[in-house]
Structure 1
Amino acid sequence: MTDNWGMTIPFSDRSLARSRELVAELPGLGYTDAWSAEVSGVDGFTPLALAAQWAPGLRLGSAIVPVSTRGPGLLAMSAATLADLAPGRFVLGIGASSPAIVERWNAGRFEKPYARTRDTLRFLRRALAGEKVSEAYETFEVKGFKLERAPEVAPKIVLAALRPRMLRLAAAEADGAITNWLSPDDVRRVRAEIGEGTELIARLFVCVSEDAERVREMARRMLAGYLTVPVYAAFHDWLGRGEVLRPMHEAWRAGDRRAAVKAVPDEVVDALIVHGDAATCRARIRQYVDNGLDTPVLAPIPGGDISIEQAVRELAPTA
């Protein structure tokens, strides 16, 4: 059984500026990790820099920062800064992200996502070790980059990975894999691709509520928004949900968002969203761990029976 129990920061009901006290409380509750995200809210690094000061005992990780929204050198500088603030406690999570985030929101180019992630991983390994890097990779070229101050302890690097090719890259060349939107049973399928020696991290969306119908109604909107993204659609095809999700995909392609949301089956919501009272939720999270998940990273979502702050406390491993 894992000793890791992570929390997503900042919390969904408050700004980063209002998160200090609750972040500082995490180690005392038994949480070992705090993981950021980067979509269209906070960036992936600033919350971790603050948490390094607010809760010095926590391991800190980014889940994830995209490899195509920053240049390789800037990514290395940001990672080196966090590694200096939290020596031995920072884990850099990187991933391909999506066309919407990279191209539509950040004016980048979402091309060869697997190769770009692989090349960035290889560059970062060398740069964060203090090497001067001049290399023509498949997806970019770096000429003479060297960190002004390499971290004393180079951070571990983990990859966002959903399907076999990226999962195998994570196992072969990175220090772990981060996945998302999966059930406890799905963990076994993912674990089989990476073997036993690779850390597997997953963000788990949790709603502490005994009103299952209310949770399902809310969660269907979240799931329709995510599972129609091509990488997640392919992931769930691979996991065996292609047929059950077909009506959702057909409605989405037809432009009928309301019908797409309605077409997400209850069984999919119940598989992918942890819900129930706090004890039921903790037991469900343990199922993920029992099936091979090393680091659950909880993301309490609003709309439950209790506040996010109370959910953070009641979902803790020491509760």
Structure 2
Amino acid sequence: MATGARWGMTIPFSDRTLAESRELVAELPGLGYTDVWSAEVNGVDGFVPLALAAEWAPGVRLGTAIVPVYTRGPGLLAMSAATLADLAPERSVLGIGASSPVIVERWNAGEFVKPFARTRDTLRFLKKALAGEKVTEKYETFEVKGFRLERAPKVPPKIVLAALRPRMLRLAAAEADGAITNWLSPQDVRKVRAEIGPETELIARLFVCVSEDAGKVRELGRRMLAGYLTVPAYAAFHDWLGRGEVLRPMREAWAAGDRQAALRAIPDEVVDALVVHGDAATCRARVQQYVDSGLDTPVLAPIPGGEIPIAQAVRDLAPGRR
């Protein structure tokens, strides 16, 4: 595989603000976590938590999973990545992706068109810009004239792509430094790995609830899954993974506007396949199954609602407890 053993954590934590996260973030290296990863949807932005973590938890790798390629201009995206790379040289990773029509169009007044091409073009621009080159180029989805970072990072960050299906996965393998995915089972990892080969780093966010109340976890999981698996890109991803028929009733109910019927239509076995749950030892063992199936970097995202507080779940899920 492309990397050694890694064990990541999502920040900030779901039960506290970023300002309240400092002490727990500072604990992560001592617990054995090698990475911290942020996301950018409608909460915190993708870069500020990592900039703070660079100070709070020296030595951990810092990654965005992901920032959209549509919501910042190419130059601004390069500047943000360069700033983080300057704070944490050789340990910053820029994860970019197409995101979704809701985030890009409804929330950010953009146009979600040609997502594969826009992601590819942004990747190619960033590789040049973060290497300190002056970029004047007309890409398929945008044009840049004379951009050069005033302060290019001494060590350009690695760039990884959010990738769900073969075309984007192959782009990640061919031109980026890795691929990011989520909402998949350990068995699904093998299918994803087959598209990118053994040398490309594969990263996945894994949603974890430390709870032995399976019914409660499944209720929480259904709400999360319905919100994701009705997004066209994720629907196509799970069609490719072989869940198209089992998820059809959920999608039909959702399209008809019957949200409760959609939730009820998600089978227990789908929730159990895609959400890690059980006591802490069971959860750690499940995460290890992902690694054994070919995942290089599991990035845990503890879900509130279990029997123990998030802070304790973070400690109990640590690789040092294995």
Which amino acid counterpart does residue 303 of structure 2 have in structure 1?
A: I
Write the distance in 1 (CA, Å) between the matches of 2:18 and 2:311.
14
Write the distance in 1 (CA, Å) between the matches of 2:307 and 2:320.
20
1:151 alignment partner in structure 2? 153
Write the distance in 1 (CA, Å) between the matches of 2:132 and 2:169.
27
Which amino acid counterpart does residue 278 of structure 1 have in structure 2?
A: A
Which amino acid counterpart does residue 274 of structure 2 have in structure 1?
A: L
Is 1:101 aligned to residue 103 of structure 2? yes
Which consecutive residues of structure 1, in runs of 5 or more, have no partner in the other structure?
A: none
Is 1:204 aligned to residue 206 of structure 2? yes
TM value normalised by structure 2: 0.98
2:8 alignment partner in structure 1? 6
- Percent identity (aligned): 84
Write the distance in 2 (CA, Å) between the matches of 1:225 and 1:313.
28
Q: For 1:216, what is the secondary structure of its paired residue?
A: helix
Taking the TM superposition and a 5 Å limit, the aligned residue runs for 1:287-302 are 287-302=289-304
Could you report, residue by residue, the CA deviation over 1:76-95 in whole angstroms, capped at 9, with x for unpaired residues? 00000000000001000000
Which consecutive residues of structure 2, in runs of 5 or more, have no partner in the other structure?
A: none
Write the distance in 2 (CA, Å) between the matches of 1:225 and 1:303.
18
Which amino acid counterpart does residue 145 of structure 2 have in structure 1?
A: K
Write the distance in 2 (CA, Å) between the matches of 1:291 and 1:175.
20
Which amino acid counterpart does residue 54 of structure 1 have in structure 2?
A: W
Which residue of 186, 191, 194 maps to 2:193? 191
Is 1:224 aligned to residue 226 of structure 2? yes
Could you report, residue by residue, the CA deviation over 1:145-175 in whole angstroms, capped at 9, with x for unpaired residues? 0000100000000000000000000000000
1:236 alignment partner in structure 2? 238
Write the distance in 2 (CA, Å) between the matches of 1:316 and 1:44.
23
Taking the TM superposition and a 5 Å limit, the aligned residue runs for 1:13-24 are 13-24=15-26
Write the distance in 1 (CA, Å) between the matches of 2:66 and 2:216.
29
Which amino acid counterpart does residue 262 of structure 1 have in structure 2?
A: R
1:277 alignment partner in structure 2? 279
TM value normalised by structure 1: 0.99
Which amino acid counterpart does residue 87 of structure 2 have in structure 1?
A: L
Write the distance in 2 (CA, Å) between the matches of 1:175 and 1:75.
17
Write the distance in 1 (CA, Å) between the matches of 2:81 and 2:304.
31
Is 1:161 aligned to residue 163 of structure 2? yes
Could you report, residue by residue, the CA deviation over 1:202-253 in whole angstroms, capped at 9, with x for unpaired residues? 0000000001011001110110111000000000000000000010000001
Q: For 2:320, what is the secondary structure of its paired residue?
A: coil
Which amino acid counterpart does residue 43 of structure 1 have in structure 2?
A: D
Which amino acid counterpart does residue 178 of structure 2 have in structure 1?
A: G
Write the distance in 2 (CA, Å) between the matches of 1:3 and 1:254.
45
Write the distance in 1 (CA, Å) between the matches of 2:53 and 2:222.
32
Taking the TM superposition and a 5 Å limit, the aligned residue runs for 1:233-272 are 233-272=235-274
1:171 alignment partner in structure 2? 173
Give the superposition deviation at 1:3.
Answer: 1.2
Write the distance in 2 (CA, Å) between the matches of 1:32 and 1:170.
22
Q: How many residues are aligned here?
A: 319
Write the distance in 2 (CA, Å) between the matches of 1:181 and 1:274.
10
2:314 alignment partner in structure 1? 312
> Runs (4+) of structure 1 moved beyond 6 Å?
none
Give the superposition deviation at 1:14.
Answer: 0.5
Write the distance in 2 (CA, Å) between the matches of 1:24 and 1:39.
24
Which amino acid counterpart does residue 159 of structure 2 have in structure 1?
A: I
Moved more, 286-295 or 215-224: 215-224
